[in-house]
Amino acid sequence: MTRVLATGVFDLLHAGHLHYLNEAKKLGDELVVIVATDATVRRRKHEPVTPEALRLELIQALKPVDRAIIGHEGDIFEVVRDIGPDVIALGYDQEFDERELQNEIDRRGIRAKVIRLSKYADDLNGTRKIIRKIIDWYTFKKTIDKAEGDR
């Protein structure tokens, strides 16, 4: 059995997330997903829109996911060692350099292959893009409403 590990924030679940997890599942028999903690999201990206417990519940409910867990604070390789993946699937936009990650995994004696997955060309394939589109829409709507009110 081949165990695949995927990781992410998964804030405002979107089609890009589904593409990533479906592609990761194709790499093996079992897909385990690590969902970033709220503290990690705050430190590395932004204030999470959706709390970690809800993000975990949403990811666990997805068809390609066999098991999902909340990540650990501190050494990211501890949870990788605990899961024992054969493959680590990186999303196309995840910050990790796959060669550096592979070297560190090898150095720590973790027997897994790092694979970078392809980009998904969906228009709304990122949480920040979704938020930007909503803000732009409301800003435009407010401008239109004000213009109509000034008539």
Domains and CATH numbers, the chain: 3-120 (3.40.50.620)
The residues, ordered by sequence, that sit 6+ positions from 20 with a Cβ below 8 Å of its Cβ are 6, 8, 89, 91, 92, 117, 120
Q: What is the pLDDT of residue 31?
A: 98
Q: Are 55 and 35 in contact (CB under 8 A)?
A: yes
- Phi (first) and psi of residue 48, to 5 degrees: -65, 140
**3-state SS, residue 34:** strand
Counting as low any pLDDT under 70, the low residues of the chain are 122-128, 130, 138, 140-141, 145-147, 150-151
Q: Are 32 and 5 in contact (CB under 8 A)?
A: yes
